Structure 1
């Protein structure tokens, strides 16, 4: 048997390498490899469990909004560390999704505030264009309301939260454009930024947009048609 052809298994390889050793030595070597393999597999298992536990803990900390020890903030900073869950939908354009960003009560409060003042939505006109030229591009109804116009403080809370996730000061934001889209209404593909080559010189420029859905409906969507793979 010791002179036979070696097979493809581990034990056959072990016998082939120990054909000049006595039985006790063979037994000790096999025992050593068995024990080494056992501890190696146990160590790898512990590492895998540790990684899994770490990922689970991180996910739980995000889901539960756990607060951590904070540092002393500056005059414009926050007193505590908070976690606002988000999902990356696209890198270019950079699009993030924030589930449950506002409570149902806050959303209904905004709807009740805006509904009596809704008017047909308009679009910015290029030099030489008329309202007739833009007819059919945007058919929703809407109203602009700033946070300081909301006596209930709902928009103030939402605006503060938006400033945190966008890392942009509240003072740099516009008033809220609260919109209602009924069946069949739309806003054709467009840029929120105003290209000076088309609209003329601009005093300021938009660098981010934040969309907050106030109700759940069947049908309709917001689409970003030009995602780039980077």
Structure 2
């Protein structure tokens, strides 16, 4: 995963890459329109009993759409991961005050839903997230373990490995989609698995 313009966050605690201007604004706008057309309240595997744990909206994006297919193609080319291991790409929309509190993307091996979510394709390995716009204020992604705050910028990519080198879940990937304080925030997320999806 070394490419021109890619920044690797210097930390032994996790593997995190940032690439600015991965998508051009026109493509981001097209995906934003798709999210707005089909958004619904976001869900979460384990809310820890907190009804406000994740307050965003989500959209399942259709890979038969040319814009979605192009984004998927670029993500696959960037990561080099077998596309059959990828979950369908999702869009998220955050209004003022909305957030996704500190969480990890992997499934807790001793969690209630582990077997349900991991029995077929296995654990989540990589997360690729793209900011589609820049809200007026707020909306940063905070990785507490490495004291890294990533500011939303149109077309910026974040990619991180949810697992350690030995294949166990890495708690240092804990991240917080912080509250939007002005405007709207749009992102897309694609997760990869240990085995082919579906």
Give the TM-score category using the shorter length.
0.5 to 0.7
The Cα shift of 1:196 comes to 2.1
* Structure with greater contact order relative to length (CA < 8 Å, sep ≥ 6): 2
Q: Which residue of 2 aligns with 1:100?
A: 21
Q: Which runs of 5+ in 2 are unaligned?
A: 147-171, 173-198
The Cα shift of 1:101 comes to 0.4
Q: Which residue of 2 aligns with 1:212?
A: 130
Q: Which residue of 1 aligns with 2:92?
A: 179
The Cα shift of 1:134 comes to 4.1
Tell me how far apart the structure 1 counterparts of residues 125 and 10 of structure 2 sit (CA, whole Å): 16
* TM-score, normalised with respect to structure 1: 0.56
Q: Which residue of 2 aligns with 1:221?
A: 140
- Structure number with greater Rg is 1
Tell me how far apart the structure 1 counterparts of residues 144 and 14 of structure 2 sit (CA, whole Å): 10
The Cα shift of 1:85 comes to 2.3
- Which has a greater percent of strand? 2
Tell me how far apart the structure 2 counterparts of residues 220 and 190 of structure 1 sit (CA, whole Å): 15
Q: State the secondary structure of the residue aligned to 2:142.
A: coil
Contact map agreement 1:123 1:134 (CA 8 A) in 2: no
Q: Which residue of 1 aligns with 2:45?
A: 124
Q: Which residue of 1 aligns with 2:114?
A: 200
Q: State the secondary structure of the residue aligned to 2:145.
A: coil
- Which has a greater percent of helix? 1
1:139 aligned to which of 43, 55, 59 = 55
Q: Measured at CA, do residues 84 and 169 of structure 1 come closer, stay the same or move farther in structure 2, by a change above 3 Å?
A: farther
Q: Which residue of 1 aligns with 2:190?
A: none
1:166 aligned to which of 74, 79, 103 = 79
Tell me how far apart the structure 2 counterparts of residues 146 and 187 of structure 1 sit (CA, whole Å): 23
**How is 1:65-76 mapped onto 2 (pairs within 5 angstroms)?**
none
